[in-house]
Amino acid sequence: MAFQEFLVPKDPDSVVDYGRKWAEWLSDTDIIIASQWIITTTENPVTLVIESDGVNEGGQTTSFWVSGGLAGMTYKLTNRITTNDGRIEDRTGILRVQEK
């Protein structure tokens, strides 16, 4: 399975935002009403933290603020959305953490 990679790696000490555009997947009458980000990693305990997340104005994009992470680790972040038409969909991206 191929995953989208977030274009900018994250520094372990930074607190930054990332997002996902859903407009191409949504129907003309569909908007996102709920968004959740799920972290998957082999790291235990997980040091990458979703500080906040949400649906952006217009209901076609989602975003999250993230902190922490261990340099050299790769994390899978799955965005699970629910739409006003009742659709539930997941998209997973890869976030690399490295010292900058």
The whole-model pTM stands at 0.90
CATH of the domain at 28: 2.60.40
| Domain count of the fold of the chain | 1
- pLDDT computed for residue 2 by the predictor: 54
> Residue 48 CB: number of other CB atoms within 10 A?
19
Question: What's the pLDDT tens digit per position in 21-66?
Answer: 999 999 999 999 999 999 999 989 999 999 999 999 899 999 999 9
3-state DSSP helix/strand/coil % of the chain, to nearest 5: 0, 55, 45
Q: What is the pLDDT of residue 4?
A: 76
Distance CA 56, CA 92 (A): 18
Q: Which domain holds residue 75?
A: 4-96
